[in-house]
Amino acid sequence: MGSRDCDVLILGAGTAGLKAYKAAAARGADTLIVERGPGGSTCTRVGCMPSKLLIAAGRAAHQARGAAAFGVDTGAVTVDAARVWQRVRAERDRFVQAVLDDYHAIPADRVIHGVARFCAADAVMVGDTRVTARSGIVIATGGHPTVPELLDPVRPLVRTHETIFDLDGLPRTLAVLGAGPLGLELGQAFARLGVAVTVIDDGESVGGVKDPEVNRVAVAALGREMTLALGVEADVSATDDGRARLTWEGGETTVDLILAATGRPPSLAELALETTGLALDEHGTPEFDPRSRRCGESAIFVAGDAGAWRPVLHEAARGGRIAGDVAAGGEPPRELPAFAIAFTEPNLVAVGCDFGSLPEGSRIGAAKVSDNGRATVDGEDQGLVRLYGDAHGRLIGATIAAPGGEHLGHLVALAIDRGTDVATFGDQAWYHPAVEELLQAAARDLLGVND
């Protein structure tokens, strides 16, 4: 049995792992990284970037069909599936290559290829080599899609976010199992490309929206383009002609393809975490401090999707930087407001304190998108903005369903991070006509100002 040692050991070379490696190395730590595969992040390969490319194609088709409302006749709109996928994959590969360039820039003697398994709280086995870390180990092994057992009868027809971008054409009909951000984004994109889409979820909310008023508006807006079967349990069976039939109380559909978008749990099973003495939750995920990414009092850190906490690229990148830096002796930075976006149209956004966690004495202000001049001009007047303020008048959160909601969310996140009160937030330089005026209107509504 061989052995190696280092100051900081990184497990995984995706977004979080690469950022952790750079942060630890920048602090002067002797750093090693273990990678089992070819490298490349989930976001670039099979996540946020290819999905946004498909969304862009769907938006182009949608806008072309809607041009007549503005007096612009485009004629019949046709979708060339081969060209759609050609662009998606070409641009996807370019994004992946940028990440791979980052990975390959790491000196070869700093990379260990193989699968890591903990054998102690400060060491892992990679093959027959024991690797010991003096200062800390960062778990950045990512996550993986799951396929529910109920889809076993039609498994050949099932795709996940890791396989959906390898299609050759477009199905005529698609069922999406899961109404979270990923399921909704891809569902709407396929619908706009001419696919009949049904989204099925056993919950009543869409895109993770917890505010019931915003959820109601979002369901109505998205329901214009897709069939939404919410709050139902589906049964699945194969048809004689090789399709899939899904039935639920009050409805059914038969489809050519199913997208399983029911979750992405952390990839931790092979790590043998039971040997570390860490506190694990009911799913076997280590409990950790979101600010430092440290697991309890140990020298083990978790970053990115491996922690099942805000599993999106920017959080993975920041979490990786934090974990690597703290493992090498740095101090954790401030914690930023929670921030989530579903890139549907309208965008679904949650910032800061969510509706279900509002403290006693909180106040809510609202603004309808249909009352916004710019949204009406652009023909995108579906949505609702809700701002939350605490009993002391401080802005603490928002839930948004609106065109350009991704940009509104950033303004709210910045204001929350700076401790801005609602009165100050509402009294900014809000330009007219702009969808950003929705935030001003919601702030004034919260304050009871009606002039």
Q: How far apart are CA 39 and CA 100, in angstroms?
A: 6
**DSSP-derived secondary structure letter, 449:** -
DSSP string, 192-248: HTT-EEEEEESSS-STT---HHHHHHHHHHHTTTSEEEES---EEEE-TTS-EEEEE
User: pTM of this prediction?
Assistant: 0.93
- Rounded to the nearest 10°, the torsion over CA 399, 403, 409, 410 is 180
Spatial distance between the Cα atoms of 374 and 432, rounded to a whole number of angstroms: 8
Edge to edge, what strands does the sheet with 339-342 contain? Answer: 339-342, 347-352, 395-402, 384-389, 363-368
**Distance in angstroms (rounded) separating the CA atoms of residues 214 and 365:** 12
Please, are residues 168 and 251 in contact by the beta-carbon 8 Å criterion?
A: no
Indicate the pairing of strand 31-35 with strand 2-11. Answer: parallel
All residues at 6 or more sequence positions from 200 whose CB lies less than 8 Å from its CB, including other chains: 175, 176, 177, 178, 179, 229, 230, 232, 234, 246, 248
The two tokens of residue 17 are: 């792992």
**H/E element, 22:** helix 15-26
Check if the beta carbon of residue 196 is closer than 8 Å to that of residue 186.
Answer: no
Strands 300-302 and 129-139 come out as parallel
| Residue pLDDT tens, the chain, 451 long | 789 999 999 999 988 999 999 999 999 999 999 998 765 545 445 546 889 999 999 999 999 999 999 999 999 999 999 999 999 999 988 888 887 888 889 999 999 999 999 999 999 999 999 999 999 999 999 888 889 999 999 999 999 988 999 999 999 999 999 999 999 999 999 999 999 999 999 999 999 999 999 999 999 999 999 999 999 999 999 999 999 999 999 999 999 999 999 988 888 889 999 999 888 887 778 888 989 999 999 999 999 888 765 556 677 888 999 999 999 999 999 999 999 999 999 999 999 999 999 999 999 999 999 999 999 999 999 999 999 999 999 999 999 999 999 999 999 999 999 999 999 999 999 999 999 999 999 999 999 987 6
- Which domains occur in the chain, in start order? 2-37+114-144+265-327 (3.50.50.60), 149-260 (3.50.50.60), 339-447 (3.30.390.30)
Residue 49 confidence (pLDDT):
82
Residue 35 falls in which region: left (phi positive, over 0), alpha (psi -120 to 50) or beta? beta
Task: Name the phi and psi angles at 24, rounded to 5.
Answer: -65, -45
Task: Reduce the DSSP state of residue 398 to 3 states and report it.
Answer: strand
Tokens of 171: 């199905």
Nearest to 446 by CA among 372, 382, 396: 396
Task: Quote the distance between the C-alpha of residue 275 and its chain's center.
Answer: 31
